[in-house]
Structure 1
Amino acid sequence: MYSLIELQKKLLPDMLLIMQKRYQILRSIRFMEPVGRRTLAQALGLSERILRSEVEFLNDQKLITIKTSGMTISQQGLSVLQGLEGIMRDVSGINEMEERLKKELNLQEVVIVPGDSDETPWVKQELGRACAKRMKKRLVGENIIAVAGGTTMAAVADMLTFDFIGNTNTLFVPARGGIGEDVKNEANSICAKMAENTGCKHRVLYVPDQVSKEVYDSFVKEPIIKEVLSLIKKANMVLHGIGDANVMAERRNTKEEDMKIIQDGHAVGEAFGYYFNEAGEVVHKVPTVGLKLDDFSHIEHVLAVAGGSSKAKAIKACMKSATNSTVLITDEGAAKKILS
């Protein structure tokens, strides 16, 4: 038996294309509101003439509101958007892509959001929203959530709300020390934001991510640091991003001799101070303060969040070392490139 969508693809393909285009416009308005027509046209790669007719249609259907400040989505438009979400995943083949990627990477679950965060910045918000949903489904009783740094983790923090936690008792802790990047993208700041948005508690770890063995041995003797490291090791959920190897090496101000090891080893991905080549082999390891890959086998839920077609190799490489408890949350751009 053909499904209704399969029949429409055969008999009315143009209708599905129009529906996809209007759905994409509605989604973009929702994330960019209030947004002007020119800005929206540039974001979607459409001419202003084509966008004008579509915007007029959406306005006539009372799905959007047009003001001098820009376009916003109406409550009716939001309902339509939410109602279409599942259908559009079938139409665009995302559900099928998730199954293929799950088998390809041998993971428990793969979640793909529409779009490519390299091309459309607000897709990162969708990654954050998808991660928040998966977190909520897995939280029961008392929880310690260890959170890494990065812009994607910051997007996850933005999507958490007071109704997220429910009746659970949850503590947010940084998964590792800071690497000296933008303070708002450091693990400590992201933990604080997550705690603030959900009404939960958090702890901080004010130590550098990368230290010598002598400094590390000195740090872990400090009572406060020792206590936080103990909490991190007890985490039942970990949230982390995946980085491009060369980008992360530069952010860490990696020494020239270590940079040579990373480049000669053809590293493409990085997570928790481990640099992986395309075969998933660790070619370099940075001594870091916090969680290490060996700890992951004891953690009940690991959520890896990363998107953008430019990160496809990094994601595939890092996922080769993933545990059975890992859920990958990525976007269409990365997923298509990995599968190709």
Structure 2
Amino acid sequence: MRKMLDIQKKLVPDLVQVLQKRYDILHRIRVSGTVGRRTLAASVDLTERTLRAELDLLRAQGLLEAGTAGMTLSDAGKRLLEEMEPLVKEMFGLADLEEAVRAKFGLKQVVIVPGDSDDSDDVKRELGRAGSRVLRHVLTPGDVVAVMGGSTMARLAAHLSVPSPLRDNWFVPARGGLGESVDYQANTIAAELAKRTGARYRMLHVPDHLSEEAYQSIMQEPNVREVVDMIRSARIVVHGIGDATAMARRRKLDADTVQEILRDGALAEAFGYYFDREGAVVHRMATAGLRLEDIEAAESVIGVAGGHSKGEAIAAVMRFGHDDVLVTDEAAAQEALRHA
């Protein structure tokens, strides 16, 4: 594929430019869902006259549908975009970046979307879409999937779709989540994933952090124990990655605990554990749900996180060494490599 692209760039450079322009148009419409021509023209930096000609061609090819609210992708357009992604990654140099990150951290697979999630909600949505595709590809009948909470996981859930219902599958929260925004709780995300796939789900109605005494007590409850046992048997784990300070405060840890975590060198948070820059666990809180040994035993661990501000945190969690797949964006990938 690369050799063919190099030949095309030399012999027919305008062909590559046209391909990239039309891909940008289709991609922008997919990200927006439905978009008017004026807004679209501004986002792809084309005049309305030039864009009108391109849209007419794409619509004649059956790739677009026009409605009163604007342009949307047809099913054929959505399929074409997915088929084009390997080619476009070669054009943008993302394939090389994916391989560099994969090799540096010893991962099975790395998927990178263009852009920076810190600067664009569109990139955040693409990150969720890419994460949902990875999850869809690793799902097999009968799987138990444990999912963490957070805004990235919520976007992943919003994009997951399967060709037929997964009636034998279970989605479960990786840990308790009371105390976070309801939309971003692991319970909510597990339920949404189940609804979108026709699978089943269980909820874990316990606080995210517990005292040791409360933890020992709550684990004696048969209903809690049953859900926790299912969570700890998960074949697939899907999680986000956060900055240690931001996550500690979001989880409403007291100031003394936050200072203790930072003194210990915590840089990143994932699965409810705090990691230093070398990927060592420096802090954990008693919580019902996944333990490190359960993550190590899972067959597929998928990390989904983006934004240049998370690059160093992503590098720290990847050094921990138990992720199989990383889904991230271009800016975070470059930062992760820089800190590696």
Displacement of 1:16: 3.1
Deviates more, 1:269-278 or 1:143-152: 269-278
1:104 aligns with 2:100: no
**Aligned partner of residue 320 in structure 1, secondary structure:** helix
Per-residue displacement from partner, 1:8-28 (whole Å, max 9, x unpaired)? 334555553453243223211
Whole-Å separation in 2 of the counterparts to 1:75 and 1:222: 48
Q: Deviations for 1:154-203, whole angstroms, at most 9, x for unmatched residues?
A: 1221122352555x721111100015121011011111111111111111
Following the alignment from structure 1 to structure 2, what is the Cα–Cα distance between the partners of residues 26 and 319? 33
The answer on whether the counterparts of 1:275 and 1:283 sit within 8 Å (CA) in structure 2 is yes
Paired AA for residue 222 in structure 1 = E
Equivalence for 2:204: 205
- Look up the equivalent residue of 2:311 and give its one-letter code: A
Letter in 2 for 1:58: E
Unaligned segments of structure 1, at least 5 residues: none
1:246 is matched with 245
Whether contact under 8 Å (2:38, 2:48) holds in the other structure is no
Q: Does 1:69 align with 2:65?
A: no
Query: Do residues 58 (structure 1) and 54 (structure 2) align?
Result: yes
Measure, in 1, the Cα distance between the counterparts of 2:148 and 2:69.
37
The corresponding residue for 2:30 is: 30
- Which moved further from structure 2: 236-245 or 256-265? 256-265
* Alpha-carbon distance in structure 2 between the residues aligned to 1:263 and 1:52: 52
**Secondary structure of 2:143 counterpart:** strand
Aligned to 1:116: 116
Q: Take 1:12 and 1:285, find their aligned partners in 2: how far apart are those partners?
A: 57
Aligned residue in 2 for 1:337: 335
Whether the aligned pair in 1 keeps the contact of 2:26 and 2:81 (CA below 8 Å) is yes
CA distance, structure 2, for counterparts of residue 137 and residue 67 of structure 1 = 32
CA distance in 2, matches of 1:134, 1:69: 31
2: CA distance, partners of 1:137 / 1:82: 14
CA distance in 1, matches of 2:130, 2:109: 12
Alignment of 1:133-282 (within 5 A): 133-163=133-163, 169-282=168-281
1:251-307 CA distance string (max 9 Å, x none):
011211111123334432101222222222333222222112222121111111111
Per the alignment, in what secondary structure is the counterpart of residue 173 of structure 1?
strand
Aligned residues: percent identity?
A: 43
**Structure 2 letter corresponding to 1:201:** R
What is the alpha-carbon distance in structure 1 between the residues aligned to residue 112 and residue 85 of structure 2?
Answer: 12
Question: Cα 1:77–1:144, aligned 2, differ >3 Å: closer, same or farther?
Answer: closer
Inter-partner Cα distance in structure 2 for 1:164 and 1:282: 40
Which residue of 1 is the match for residue 325 of structure 2? 327
CA 1:121/1:280 → structure 2, altered by over 3 Å: closer, same or farther? same
3-state SS of the aligned residue for 2:55?
Answer: helix
Cα gap change, 1:214 to 1:75, in 2 (>3 Å): closer
Shift of 1:54: 4.4
1:273 touches 1:287 (CA, 8 Å); kept in 2?
no
TM superposition shift of 1:77 = 4.2
Aligned residue type for 2:57? Q
- Output the amino acid matched with 1:118: D
Q: 1:122 to 1:336 in 2, by over 3 A?
A: same
Cα pair 2:178 2:206 within 8 Å, conserved: no
Deviations 1:45-99 (A, max 9, x none): x65xx35244223223134455552333355644543442221111112222111
Equivalent residues of 1:22, 1:54 under 8 A apart: no
Greater CA drift, 12-21 or 97-106? 12-21
TM-score (structure 2 length as normaliser): 0.89
Aligned length: 334
**1:275 maps to amino acid:** Y
| Offset from partner CA, 1:203-228 (integer Å, 9 cap, x none) | 11000110100110110001100110
Task: Sort the Cα spacing of 1:303 and 1:78 in 2 relative to 1 into closer, same or farther, 3 A.
Answer: closer
Displacement of 1:236 after TM fit?
0.9
Segments of 4+ moved more than 6 angstroms? none
SS at match of 2:99: helix
SS of the residue corresponding to residue 34 of structure 2 reads coil
In structure 2, what is the Cα distance between the partners aligned to 1:261 and 1:57?
Answer: 61
Partner of 1:16: 16
Q: Is the 8 A contact 1:243 1:269 kept in 2?
A: yes
The alignment's C-alpha RMSD in Å is: 2.5
Distance 2:126 2:205 in 1: 30
Q: 1:62 to 1:38 in 2, by over 3 A?
A: closer
Distance (Å, rounded) in 2 between the aligned partners of 1:35 and 1:25? 11
